């Protein structure tokens, strides 16, 4: 017996049509006090369902998470989940606008992602430690807008988010913050055919943009009032999207409403917390919570030589009593003939990928410090090698591969 939905691999033998056709969309919401009538004669006998006896559960809330009694409009994202919309909600365009209201008390969150299953087109929007990243790849060109939006977006109040594309120009706005960026070359058309993902992506989804540019932190908060306008539709009018109707799949998302904002935290974050804001260069935090560091990290599970200068390494995350978020993994390769020589370092985001490559000596690992006196928020660092840009992003390290000199 299945409650709330059917497994993905279940084969239906019935071929009913019309009103008798089985609804395969999963139930999104809460159930309680579920009982079954086990006998009908001579008197009815009912038996309550014991949820603890379930043999398997997929994307179901834990009993302690409960269900909100008082709610407001919107979809509630519990974190580590996503909302998958049908693919015809958004297919791209040369000119388009996307508006939504969101509410969160966390610093980092993936807000929106969609891509083309054949070409390299994609769109990624996420928040990370005060920065809004809006990355759009179309027709071989990548345009990136990295905008400082302060830390007010994670105070638990509703914030409006606007995204727009006009030819080769993309723009974004959150509250009173707004910025635009122009891509190189002529106007290009974004063409996507995947589902539109809100508030996160499935853990099994593999895409180069998610590996290199995203932590894949699922949103903890709420989204409402999603509207989309694109020149792909005729006429190109703004369409309000009903999240419940247009959703194809939801994991850890409550579609019946958002909890009231009577109790909330300010920017508690999922890997960092704001503990001081001011002009001083030193501060003490007296509210630290206990955390643990793995006593030992297991060795790589597999190491395979790719070339004479690089190796592919696979590893498993640490197990045991590990309290705290793992933000990134660092690989070190030592010279067996010269163990005293400095190792080759490579760092990778902890986004579910446990296989990477370490290269040397045809690689150059570069790190740098932030400017001592930046004139405003840093949107990106640009690294050049032999007059060619080899890196653009917010990280302060990069491994330059394929060196010949």
pLDDT digits (tens, 9 = 90+) for 34-59: 888 888 888 888 988 888 888 887 76
206 and 96, same structural domain? Answer: yes
What's the rounded mean pLDDT across residues 8-13?
81
Give the β-pairing of 159-166 and 95-104. Answer: antiparallel
Residue 279 belongs to a domain: no
223 and 78, same structural domain? Answer: yes
pLDDT at 264 over 80: no
Q: Is the distance from CB of 396 to CB of 369 less than 8 angstroms?
A: yes
Residue 183 belongs to a domain: yes
How many whole angstroms separate alpha carbon 311 and alpha carbon 284?
43
User: Under 8 Å CB-to-CB from 314, ≥6 apart: which residues?
Assistant: 300, 301, 302, 303, 354, 355
pLDDT for residue 171: 95
Residue 7 belongs to a domain: no
Residue 294 belongs to a domain: no
Residue length of the chain: 405
User: Under 8 Å CB-to-CB from 294, ≥6 apart: which residues?
Assistant: 318, 320, 322
What is the pTM for the complete model shown? 0.61
Residue 61 belongs to a domain: no
pLDDT for residue 374: 78
pLDDT for residue 386: 77
What's the rounded mean pLDDT across residues 274-282?
77
User: Under 8 Å CB-to-CB from 219, ≥6 apart: which residues?
Assistant: 77, 79, 102, 104, 106, 109, 110, 111, 198, 199, 200
How many whole angstroms separate alpha carbon 173 and alpha carbon 101?
11
pLDDT band (50, 70, 90) for residue 8 = confident
Whichever domain contains 158, its CATH number is: 2.60.120.200
> Across the chain, what does the average pLDDT equal?
81
Cα Rg of the chain, angstroms? 24
Half-sphere exposure of 157 (CA within 13 A, CB side): 8
Residue 127 belongs to a domain: yes
Q: Is the distance from CB of 170 to CB of 134 less than 8 angstroms?
A: yes
DSSP code per residue over 235-250: S---EE--HHHHEEEE
pLDDT for residue 49: 85
The pLDDT tens digits of the residues spanning 216-239 come to: 788 888 999 999 999 887 777 788
Residue 268 belongs to a domain: no
314 and 222, same structural domain? Answer: no
Query: Token digits for 51?
Result: 């949820």
Which single residue is written with the structure tokens 């996507």? 192
Query: Token digits for 129?
Result: 């430690």
The pLDDT tens digits of the residues spanning 28-40 come to: 777 888 888 888 8
Number of domains in the chain: 2
Domain that holds residue 197: 71-259
Which among 259, 289, 316 is the end of a domain? 259
Lowest-pLDDT choice from 125-139, 193-207, 261-275: 261-275
Residue 119 belongs to a domain: yes
Cite the beta strand spans of 321-396 per DSSP E: 328-333, 344-349, 355-359, 364-367, 381-385, 388-393
The pLDDT tens digits of the residues spanning 319-345 come to: 665 555 566 778 888 878 777 877 877
248 and 185, same structural domain? Answer: yes
pLDDT for residue 193: 94
pLDDT band (50, 70, 90) for residue 296 = low
Q: Is the distance from CB of 219 to CB of 103 less than 8 angstroms?
A: no
Sequence-ordered alpha helix ranges (H) in 113-242: 208-213
The percentage of the chain sitting over the pLDDT mark of 70, rounded to a whole number, equals 82
The pLDDT tens digits of the residues spanning 117-172 come to: 999 999 999 998 888 999 999 988 899 999 888 877 888 889 999 999 999 999 99
Query: Token digits for 121?
Result: 């087109």
């Amino acid at each position: 017996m299945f409650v709330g939905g059917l497994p993905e691999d279940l084969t239906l033998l019935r071929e009913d049509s019309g009103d008798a056709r089985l609804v395969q969309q999963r139930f999104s919401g809460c159930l309680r006090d579920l009982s079954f009538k086990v006998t009908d004669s001579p008197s009815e006998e009912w038996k309550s369902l014991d949820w603890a006896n379930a043999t398997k559960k997929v994307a179901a809330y834990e009993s302690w998470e409960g269900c909100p009694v008082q709610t407001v409009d919107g979809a509630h994202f519990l974190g580590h989940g996503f909302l998958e919309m049908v693919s015809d909600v958004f297919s791209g365009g040369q000119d388009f606008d996307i508006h939504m209201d969101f509410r969160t008390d966390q610093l980092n969150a993936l807000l929106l992602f969609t891509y083309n299953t054949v070409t390299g087109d994609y769109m990624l929007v996420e928040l990370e430690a005060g920065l809004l990243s809006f990355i759009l790849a179309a027709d071989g060109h990548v345009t990136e807008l990295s905008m400082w939006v302060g830390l007010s977006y994670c105070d638990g109040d509703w914030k409006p988010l606007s995204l727009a594309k006009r030819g080769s120009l993309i723009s974004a706005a959150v509250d009173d913050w707004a910025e635009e960026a122009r891509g190189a070359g002529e106007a290009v058309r974004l063409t996507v055919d995947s589902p539109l993902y809100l508030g996160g992506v499935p853990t099994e989804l593999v895409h180069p943009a998610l590996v290199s540019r995203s932590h894949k932190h699922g949103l903890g908060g709420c989204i409402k009032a999603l509207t989309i306008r694109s020149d792909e539709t005729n006429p190109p009018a703004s369409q309000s999207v009903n999240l419940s109707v247009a959703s194809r799949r939801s994991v850890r998302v409550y579609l019946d409403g958002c909890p009231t904002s009577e109790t909330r935290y300010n920017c508690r974050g999922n890997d960092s917390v704001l503990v001081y804001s001011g002009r001083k260069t030193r501060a003490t935090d007296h509210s630290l919570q206990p955390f643990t560091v793995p006593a030992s990290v297991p060795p790589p599970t597999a190491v395979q030589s790719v070339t004479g200068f690089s190796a592919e390494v696979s590893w498993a995350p640490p197990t045991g009593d590990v309290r705290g978020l793992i933000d990134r993994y660092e690989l070190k390769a030592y010279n067996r003939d010269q163990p005293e020589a400095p190792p080759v370092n490579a760092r990778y985001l902890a986004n579910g990928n446990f296989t990477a490559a370490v290269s040397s000596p045809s690689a150059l690992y570069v790190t740098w410090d932030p400017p001592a006196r930046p004139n405003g928020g840093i949107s990106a660092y640009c690294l050049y090698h032999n007059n060619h840009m080899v890196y653009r992003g917010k990280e302060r390290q990069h491994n330059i591969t394929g060196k010949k000199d």
